Each structure stands twice: as C-alpha cells, then as structure tokens.
Structure 1
Amino acid sequence: MSDTPDTAAESRARQAKAAESEVGGIAPERLRSIIDRIERLEEERKALASDIKDIYAEAKSAGFEPKVIRQLIMLRRKEPAEVEEQETLLDLYKRALGM
C-alpha cells in the first residue's frame, strides 16, 4: 500500500501533525515554554512591585522620606567612583547656578 497515493484525509492528518511540531521553522512547544516563563516572571514582578510599594509606605509611616530612600538605593547600586564623580558634577553645577 505504500505505492498508493495518500487520501486527502491522510494528507491533512500528516500536515496537521507536522504543523504541531514546527510552524514556519518555529517549534511551538519551545515558544509556548518561553512565553509561559515570561508570563510567570511578569506575575512575580507585579507581586514584588507591590511588596516594594508596601515597604516604602512602611518607611514613610516610620518618618522616612521615600524619595530619599530611592536615591540612596540608586547610589548603592553604583560604583563609589561613579557616585563621587556625579556628586562633584552636581556640586559644580549648583555653584554655577549660585545655589
């Protein structure tokens, strides 16, 4: 029977199976896995953002200024030399403006 041509139904079934495994050179399962992981991480990011917001509210209720805390966090992420350079430039600009 291998010498007989495929019926239309067999041909469609074979094409559907091929479509499940790869579409335009894209592996659907791999793509789905990537999208699922991104979606999961986006949800985690939302939860973390909410937690961070709560901590800033806690800091504010304890008498701390959230804007200043954000600046401190930014400064801690930078290298000390970069912080010093920015502070020097800020001081220079402030003096130039008479501040």
Structure 2
Amino acid sequence: MTYPSNGSDAHGIARDQLRQFVERIERLDGEAKDLNDERKDVYGEAKGCGFDVKILKRVVAIRRQDKDQRMEEEAILDTYLAALGMIESPEN
C-alpha cells in the first residue's frame, strides 16, 4: 500500500518524533543507571566506614518526608506496635 506524498511526510515526522523520544528515554535510562551505580558505591563506602547501610537508607527515606508526613507515619507505626504488644500503648 502506498501513501500520498503529504501522508508520507506526516509519517516521516511522526517516525522522527518517535525516534527522538526513544533516544531521549534511552539516554535517561543510561543516566539513571550511572546514578544508581554511584549511589551503590556511596553506600559501599559508608559500609566500609562501619555504618549500617539498612539504617542509612531509612535515614535518607525519612529525610525525604516532610515533618507532618513523618509524624503521621510514626503515630500509625506506634499504634500498630502497641496493638501487637510490642510497645506500651501511646495513650498511656
């Protein structure tokens, strides 16, 4: 099947746009991989200095939260732990 010349131009433009999007995504994927590799290296350095990587990752996650979000999460965690008898009830 052949397309009229004006349709071919439109298909060519769409194909070029698609190629550009794919190439940008691939570039970003490469950059993300590089950043993840760097992050892994930093955690490795921290571990080599005696820091607990699991706790360090938790600290980073906590620092990403705003104060209200963190307080709400901690209150829910305390409620659950109290319900399981793992800590004293927060109301006490």
TM bucket normalised to smaller: 0.7 to 0.9
The normalised TM-score by structure 2 is 0.79
1:98 aligns with 2:85: yes
1:89 aligns with: 76
- Report SS of the residue matched to 1:64: coil
1:62 aligns with: 49
Identity %: 39
Q: Which has the larger radius of gyration?
A: 1
1:51 aligns with: 38
Q: Which has the higher contact order (CA 8 A, sep 6+)?
A: 2
The normalised TM-score by structure 1 is 0.74
* Structure 1, unaligned runs of 5 or more: 1-11
* Structure 2, unaligned runs of 5 or more: 87-92
2:10 aligns with: 22
Size of the alignment, in residue pairs? 85
Residue type of the alignment partner of 2:83:
A
